A and B are shown apart, each in its own frame.
Chain A
Amino acid sequence: MTIVEKILARASGQKSVKPGDVLEPEVDVAMSHENAALVINQYDEVFSGTGLETKLWNPDRIAIIFDHRVPAESSKTATNQKKIRNFVKKNGIKKFHDIRSDEGGICHQIIAEYGYIRPGYVVVGTDSHTTTHGAFGAFSFGIGATEMASVWALGVVLNVEVPETIKIIVKGKLPENVYPKDLILHIIGKISAQGANFKVIEFHGDTIENMPMSGRLVLCNMSVEAGATSGIIPGDAETAGYLKAAGVTDKIENVLPDADAKYCGIIEIDASKLEPQIACPHTVDNVKPISEVKGVKIDQIVIGSCTNGRIDDLEIAAGILKGKKVARETRMLIFPASWSIYKDAMKKGYLEIFSESGAIIMNPGCGCCLGIHQGALGDGEVALSTTNRNFKGRMGNPKGEVYLCSPAVAAASAVAGYISSPVKGEN
């Protein structure tokens, strides 16, 4: 069996499962953000007319993290957040992260940072980038609010069809200035935005084995942009080390694929030949090597999001921006993915480098990634961003354009004012 088949077999009490089987797996972590307001609504609906009091299956397995619109951008959001806070209090939900600098951040970053995740877990989240946690060898996928209400009530996901798995083997050392973001953009460009629809992507190969958790999170995060139900990476020493550092004390048990696991496709990629990649407007699979898009003038540079707002990303950007200025006709926004990253960046001096360069340091959260809160584009403006989506309207304006890239390309382009290679002498 593949990793996900093994996880689903365990979670539904079966010896073995195969693609197409329909199961009701038990859930280990059920995560929501501000859309918990709708989940609460649907959850109340489930119980209405039954004569039963509402009852959560297990409040300790529920996580709610405010990130999409923090602090609230409107009275509507603030009222939703208030409703959620009351619900959290009433139901004793402990994995709750409010708008605070001692616990806040983007949901996917918090789940990792706080060690809420383990290899082999079944994780659902009311967010499509819940695929991120596959980086820990968990089966982690996005669901809608009504489905989450069902999970809150029953503790299982109803009618899960065992997905097929595509195996992607990545070999070779990523060249200097080429990062996991470039690798995943390349993969999405290659297999298309629907290439993995209803399937899981299992990542293998020495490039992955040598990749730190921060990079693995990028790969699994963006797997959904190829349509994948989840990305997944076999747990190893890196996984255990990360969780230990996050304060996890229980024994980590990795779920690994069988030698004779069946895959619906196998793709091999030579990472050593990659150059920085750019996803061009308005689809994530419209990927080109940077040499083909160099020189596009940029109005707004964004570094942040659940894809590339981690300390390594800020370190790369700080390294490039040190002693330099953001180009006069370009503005740069930096959204660390969590407050602990923000504070780490403060200690390491990155925030000072950014503010000296003219970049704006925003509060941790989703920021302008989804176009609702801070950093909207003007008509005809162009953004270059380390986030994960460039759909029309994504950054708050259907008349704007978004290009996606690695933090290194973002920082180098901020200095130049146009899409620019981080490789020295190649601008």
Chain B
Amino acid sequence: MAKVVYKFGDDISTDAIYPGRYMATVLPTETPQFCFADYTELNKKLNSGEYPKGSVIIADNNFGCGSSREQAASTINGHELVVIAKNYARIFLQNSINLGLNLITCPDLEASVGDDIELEGKEVVNKTTGKRFGTLPLPEARMAIVEAGGLIPYTRKKVMEKYKV
């Protein structure tokens, strides 16, 4: 079970998730410090551990719109946040799948900051209100990558097939 620590609206851009001015920082080990850097309080609490790993952030439509910067996925991944949104922008969704970030698509979710959330099979359960919400599965084409543990191991396997090792 984990708490909702932040609630976003529609069209949260990759500039909001990982501002362009930190783009020279690329390594997944270094990006987490700038997660939601312009949401000063949220950033502080993520970095200090006041919001523990596994915390939930929720959003409405088109989360992750904008640039292709992969830092937007790796910065959230570094804090092991669970993202639950109504839907996602394409490149951000793909980047997240590639890096193994847990994105949950839940079109009807009703939850507030502070609510306790639990994932039970294909449902998101709001333990605070007792309500259950259905989720949409990832596009089928992406499941193979998820199952391989991300795009790097998936590609590695293909590379080994290609060069027959």
The answer to whether A and B belong to the same complex is yes
Measured CB to CB, the residues of A under 8 A from B are 22, 34-35, 37-38, 41-42, 45-47, 49-52, 55, 68-69, 73-74, 76-77, 80, 125-128, 130, 142-147, 149-150, 153-154, 158-161, 193-194, 197-198, 227, 229, 283, 285, 370-372, 389, 391-394, 396, 398
- Say yes or no for B23: interface residue by CB 8 A criterion: yes
Measured CB to CB, the residues of B under 8 A from A are 11, 13, 15-16, 19-21, 23-27, 38, 61-62, 65-70, 73, 87, 89-91, 94-95, 98-99, 139-142, 144-145, 150-152, 154-156, 158-160, 162-163, 165
Q: List 6 A-B contacts (CB under 8 A).
A: A35-B69, A50-B165, A143-B91, A159-B141, A371-B15, A396-B20
Inter-chain pairs besides A41-B26, A52-B159, A370-B23, 15 sampled, C-beta below 8 Å? A22-B141, A80-B26, A128-B91, A143-B94, A144-B95, A144-B98, A147-B151, A154-B162, A194-B62, A194-B65, A227-B65, A229-B90, A372-B21, A372-B24, A396-B20
Candidates A50, A128, A147, A398; contact of B38 at CB < 8 Å: A398
Give Cα A41–Cα B25 distance, bound, in whole angstroms. Answer: 13
Query: What is the CB-to-nearest-CB distance from B148 to chain A, in angstroms, rounded to a whole number?
Result: 10
Closest partner residue, chain A, to B162 (CB atom): A154
Q: Collect the chain A residues with CB atoms within 8 Å of residue B73's CB.
A: 144
Candidates A22, A52, A389, A394; contact of B165 at CB < 8 Å: A52
Give Cα A77–Cα B165 distance, bound, in whole angstroms. Answer: 36
Candidates A45, A52, A80, A130; contact of B24 at CB < 8 Å: A80
Closest partner residue, chain B, to A227 (CB atom): B89
Instruction: Check B156 against A371 for contact (C-beta < 8 Å).
Output: no
Interface Cβ pair total, 8 Å cutoff:
159
Instruction: Check A46 against B155 for contact (C-beta < 8 Å).
Output: yes
Q: Collect the chain A residues with CB atoms within 8 Å of residue B142's CB.
A: 159
Given contact pairs A149-B155, A150-B151, A154-B158, A198 touches B15 in the complex (Cβ within 8 A): no
Closest partner residue, chain B, to A389 (CB atom): B66
Closest partner residue, chain A, to B73 (CB atom): A144
Instruction: Check B19 against A371 for contact (C-beta < 8 Å).
Output: yes
Give Cα A136–Cα B62 distance, bound, in whole angstroms. Answer: 28
Give Cα A32–Cα B23 distance, bound, in whole angstroms. Answer: 14
Instruction: Check A394 against B15 for contact (C-beta < 8 Å).
Output: yes
Q: Collect the chain A residues with CB atoms within 8 Å of residue B91's CB.
A: 128, 142-144
Give Cα A398–Cα B19 distance, bound, in whole angstroms. Answer: 9
Give Cα A55–Cα B24 distance, bound, in whole angstroms. Answer: 26
Q: Collect the chain A residues with CB atoms within 8 Å of residue B144's CB.
A: 159
Instruction: Check A146 against B70 for contact (C-beta < 8 Å).
Output: yes
Instruction: Check A146 against B69 for contact (C-beta < 8 Å).
Output: no
Instruction: Check B11 against A46 for contact (C-beta < 8 Å).
Output: no
Most central of B65, B99, B140 by chain A CB within 10 Å:
B65
Candidates A143, A146, A150, A389; contact of B99 at CB < 8 Å: A146
Query: What is the CB-to-nearest-CB distance from A99 to chain B, in angstroms, rounded to a whole number?
Result: 15
Query: What is the CB-to-nearest-CB distance from A5 to chain B, in angstroms, rounded to a whole number?
Result: 16
Closest partner residue, chain A, to B161 (CB atom): A154
Instruction: Check A391 against B16 for contact (C-beta < 8 Å).
Output: yes
Q: Collect the chain B residues with CB atoms within 8 Å of residue A371's CB.
A: 15, 19-21
Candidates B139, B151, B165; contact of A146 at CB < 8 Å: B151
Nearest 8 interchain pairs by C-beta: A144-B95, A370-B20, A38-B26, A398-B38, A391-B13, A22-B141, A76-B24, A144-B70
